[in-house]
């Protein structure tokens, strides 16, 4: 998180920006990073709104730039701006229209989470991060290199945010039910499964100072347990990873991520592994046939700028 040099903040003149700007201010203050405010809309009739916001935040000491743009859909507009500005983080807001309504994600939300090469922070609640629980959810049962690197990213981002918010980092991993038919005898007995998962978590506990009381190894489906534990701990933020193996244009950003995003009642930070990021950046790069003003963009984003603590290469 501390390697983020600039963040793209998606604002909407028709909605309150208090929560999203509070998150953006906290991250910019902690990382000394730039904020690029974007309104996804045709025309230029939001310039006064954006200029007022820029002026106000510059007086508070923040480095701010503003933009109004439209590239056919909101997710394409956001990704084009993220690439052009070299932003290492996208901050977007998803709040219900009415307090008692559940904030259902739109198809555009899903597309942004699937296709955006940078981490996406989705603000879903008004709960302050300050002094709150930050939950890092990892699947330590998947222990290939790609997953190990992603797990390091998830826990280190959670650790960074807990540090800057004066909060408490908790870590969780959900494990499958024992199966007598499992080829590995270890997965036939609950105790041996839990012992394996505990062992996988030890290096993270040591590196990021996570006590046993803040480690949660639970039996059952992750898509049920992650929202349950986040609610129980009153987490202000849940950090998760998504691994889309195939068909990025399909319904997957990783089954678990897709299922829990609706039900989590905390803010959510979604990270992806490097190979997915590289592929998404190739998809985002403008083809040479596009108009000169888009093609001339330098697309300077370096996809390694937000992956730090890479100990498992």
Is the predicted pLDDT of residue 303 greater than 60, yes or no? no
Is the predicted pLDDT of residue 260 greater than 90, yes or no? no
If asked whether residues 172 and 85 sit together in one domain, one would say: no
Domain carrying residue 20: 1-123+279-313
If asked whether residues 239 and 310 sit together in one domain, one would say: no
Domain count of the fold of the chain:
2
Most confident of 29-43, 54-68, 176-190: 54-68
If asked whether residues 182 and 220 sit together in one domain, one would say: yes
pLDDT at position 213 is 97
If asked whether residues 142 and 62 sit together in one domain, one would say: no
Most confident of 89-103, 176-190, 214-228: 214-228
pLDDT at position 183 is 79
Is the predicted pLDDT of residue 252 greater than 50, yes or no? no
pLDDT at position 111 is 83
If asked whether residues 12 and 107 sit together in one domain, one would say: yes
E-strand stretches of the chain = 6-10, 34-40, 64-69, 89-93, 120-123, 133-137, 168-175, 215-219, 235-241, 267-271
If asked whether residues 245 and 294 sit together in one domain, one would say: no
pLDDT at position 72 is 93
pLDDT at position 149 is 84
Helix (H, G, I), strand (E, B) or coil at 210: coil
- Contact between residue 212 and residue 170 where contact means Cβ atoms under 8 Å apart: no
pLDDT at position 290 is 40
Write the CATH number for 91. 3.40.50.12370
If asked whether residues 10 and 114 sit together in one domain, one would say: yes
Is the predicted pLDDT of residue 66 greater than 90, yes or no? yes
Backbone angles phi, psi at 167, to 5 degrees: -105, -175
Burial degree of 172 (CB within 10 A; 0-12, 13-18, 19+): buried
If asked whether residues 194 and 115 sit together in one domain, one would say: no
* pLDDT, tens digit, 9 for 90 and up, residues 127-150: 899 999 999 999 888 777 777 888
pLDDT at position 96 is 66
Angle at CA 6, nearest 5°, toward 168 and 304? 80
Comparing 198 with 98, the larger pLDDT belongs to 198
> Mean pLDDT, to the nearest integer, of 153-163?
93
Best CA proximity match to 57, nearest among 100, 30, 93, 28 = 28
- What is this structure's pTM? 0.83
For residue 296, name the pLDDT band (cuts at 50, 70, 90).
very low
If asked whether residues 81 and 150 sit together in one domain, one would say: no
If asked whether residues 25 and 115 sit together in one domain, one would say: yes
Of 64-68, 72-76, 120-124, 175-179, minimum mean pLDDT range: 175-179
If asked whether residues 212 and 133 sit together in one domain, one would say: yes
Mean pLDDT of the chain: 82
- Contact between residue 134 and residue 235 where contact means Cβ atoms under 8 Å apart: yes
If asked whether residues 28 and 46 sit together in one domain, one would say: yes
* pLDDT, tens digit, 9 for 90 and up, residues 181-201: 777 877 778 888 899 999 999
């Amino acid at each position: 998180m501390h390697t983020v040099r600039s963040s793209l903040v998606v604002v909407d003149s028709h909605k309150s920006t208090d929560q999203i700007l509070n998150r953006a201010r906290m991250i910019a203050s902690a990382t000394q990073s730039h904020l690029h405010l974007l309104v996804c809309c045709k025309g230029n009739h939001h310039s006064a709104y954006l200029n007022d916001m820029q002026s106000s935040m510059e007086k508070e000491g923040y480095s701010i730039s503003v933009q109004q743009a439209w590239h056919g859909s909101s997710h394409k507009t956001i990704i084009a701006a993220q690439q052009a500005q070299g932003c290492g983080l996208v901050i977007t807001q998803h709040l219900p229209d009415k307090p008692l309504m559940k904030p259902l994600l739109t198809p555009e939300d899903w597309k942004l989470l699937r296709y955006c090469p940078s981490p996406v922070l989705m603000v879903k609640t008004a709960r302050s991060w300050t002094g709150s629980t930050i939950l890092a959810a990892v699947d330590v049962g998947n222990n290939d290199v790609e997953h190990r690197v992603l797990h390091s990213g998830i826990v280190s981002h959670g650790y960074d945010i807990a540090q800057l918010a004066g909060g408490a980092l908790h870590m969780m991993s959900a494990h499958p039910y024992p199966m007598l038919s499992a080829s590995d005898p270890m997965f036939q007995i609950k105790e041996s499964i839990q012992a394996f998962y505990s062992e996988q978590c030890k290096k993270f506990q040591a590196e990021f100072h996570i006590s046993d009381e803040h480690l949660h190894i639970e039996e059952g489906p992750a898509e049920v347990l992650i929202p349950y534990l986040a609610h129980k701990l009153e987490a202000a933020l849940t950090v998760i990873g998504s691994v889309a193996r195939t068909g990025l244009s399909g319904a997957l950003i990783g089954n678990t991520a897709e299922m829990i995003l609706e039900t989590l009642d905390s803010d959510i930070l979604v990270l992806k592994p490097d190979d997915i990021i590289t592929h998404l950046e190739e998809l985002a790069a403008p083809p040479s046939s596009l108009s000169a003003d888009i093609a001339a963009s330098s697309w300077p984003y370096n996809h390694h700028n937000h992956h730090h603590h890479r100990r498992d290469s």
